[in-house]
Every structure is written in structure tokens, then in C-alpha cells.
Amino acid sequence: MSRPGRPELVIFDCDGVLVDSEVIACRVLSESLAEAGIPVAADDIAENYVGLSAATIFADIERRTGRRVPEDFAPSTRPRLEAAFAAELAAMPGVATALAAIATRVCVASSSAPVRLRHSLTLTGLIDRFSPHIFSAEQVARGKPAPDLFLLASATMGVRPEACWVIEDSRAGIEAAGAAGMMAIGFSGGSHCRADHGERLRQAGATRVLASMDELTSLLAATSR
């Protein structure tokens, strides 16, 4: 495989890429839905909804189950998720080293709400590396797999889409990066990723798939030679 050129901007997804949050978030969402009378297993959530916005997730759950998600569901469950993150959340192994190796600009573009993004990045000590360049799907009309969020990030940062790398752990994110005309790099190092996760990201259009942040550090070093 040919070596990609050096990026002018590296756009990171947050959950499952910068922070190892997906197993925690899927468990909390499953528990909260069950209490609302909507049984959806955590594995089902991980399989079908990672990388999507809350609005998209809730709409599909309502379609599948025929049950209405309460209007106050997201704000009412936020304290529970924040408490779980405070107790369990960690930065992805090797991410600090990888970020230190990036000589170019970086930002975050995630389907999560702004308050969750800032909470997660603060807990894991990553907030200062990215702030104020933190973009949420709540800022655009269409979330992933539409390209809107990544295009917002590149436009705001003043970088052409074709000069951007996107690091993503979800199929929706990889598809969004491709639709935006950016280099889509899959990441399969999160604790939620199964053995076939990398192949699924390739099928979604990932140029290459990294199994760890150490591989990202090596790839970035190779582009600087």
C-alpha cells in the first residue's frame, strides 16, 4: 500500500478513538432504556449505533421497537453517564504519544453532544490539546454518515478536505470521511471492537486500518520523512 502524504489537518473522532468510552456508553444506554421500558441489549447498541448521533439512534430504536423514547431521556440520563465516565473512562492507550507526534493541526469531530465531548476530554486530560477546535454533530443538519460535520471542521479550520485525515472507529464515520473527500483511516483499537472490526471499516472505505495508536504514531512519522 502506498504511503499517504502528510496531512494539513488530522480530524479525530472522540468516542472509541481518543477515549475508550463505547463499552461504557453502550452499557449505560442499555440500562437506561430498559428502565424506560425499552429493552435493547448493549451488544445490539454497539453493533448498530456506534458513531451515530443521539437523535438518529433514538429514531431507529423507536422504529424497531415501536416504543417512544421519552423526550427528556437524553438530559435525564446524562448524570448517569457522566458518573460512569468519571469512574471508568480512560484515554485510548498510546493516544498521548500519538498526539505529541503530530506536528500539524488537529481537531475533534464527533457525533456526541458538546457537553459530553468536553466532559470526556477533560476527564482524560486531552481537552487542552484540542480546545477550542471541538465540533459536534449538533452543529450540522445531518450527522454521520453524511459529510457535513467533517466539512464544517475543515472549513472552520481553513483546510481543504483533500488535505485532511480522519481517524474513525465507526462505519458511519468512515463513510462520512469518504463522502467529504478526506482520507479515511480506520481505528480498531477500542475495547468495543471485535475481531472483524478492521475488515468492516475497510469495507466501509477506510484507506487503511490501525489496530493501535502506536501504529498512528508510526504512520505519522513515515509521512514526515
Where residue 35 sits, what CATH number does that domain have? 1.10.150.240
**pLDDT exceeds cutoff 50 at 136:** yes
Q: What is the C-alpha separation between 211 and 203, in angstroms, rounded?
A: 16
**Is the same domain home to 66 and 93?**
no
**pLDDT exceeds cutoff 90 at 103:** no
Predicted confidence (pLDDT) per residue in 137-164, tens digit: 999 999 999 999 999 999 999 999 999 9
In a domain, 211, yes or no: yes
pLDDT value for 224: 64
In terms of phi and psi (left: phi > 0; alpha: psi -120 to 50; beta: otherwise), the region of 64 is alpha
In a domain, 51, yes or no: yes
**pLDDT exceeds cutoff 70 at 39:** yes
**Is the same domain home to 170 and 72?**
no
In a domain, 2, yes or no: no
Read off the pLDDT of each residue in 114-128 and give the average, rounded to a whole number.
Answer: 97
**Is the same domain home to 188 and 208?**
yes
Check if the beta carbon of residue 218 is closer than 8 Å to that of residue 122: no
Predicted confidence (pLDDT) per residue in 80-94, tens digit: 999 999 999 999 999
**Is the same domain home to 179 and 124?**
yes
pLDDT value for 225: 59
**Is the same domain home to 130 and 218?**
yes
* Predicted model pTM: 0.91
**pLDDT exceeds cutoff 50 at 209:** yes
pLDDT value for 180: 98
Based on the structure, what is the number of domains in the chain? 2
**Is the same domain home to 45 and 134?**
no
Domain boundary among 31, 61, 88: 88
**Long-range contacts of 181-189, Cβ-Cβ distance < 8 Å, separation of 24 or more:** 181/147, 182/11, 182/150, 182/154, 183/4, 183/7, 183/207, 185/209, 185/210, 185/216, 185/219, 186/210, 187/13, 187/16, 187/17, 187/216, 189/92, 189/93, 189/213
**pLDDT exceeds cutoff 60 at 2:** no
Cell of 119: 466532559
Residue range(s) defining the domain that contains residue 105? 9-21+89-223
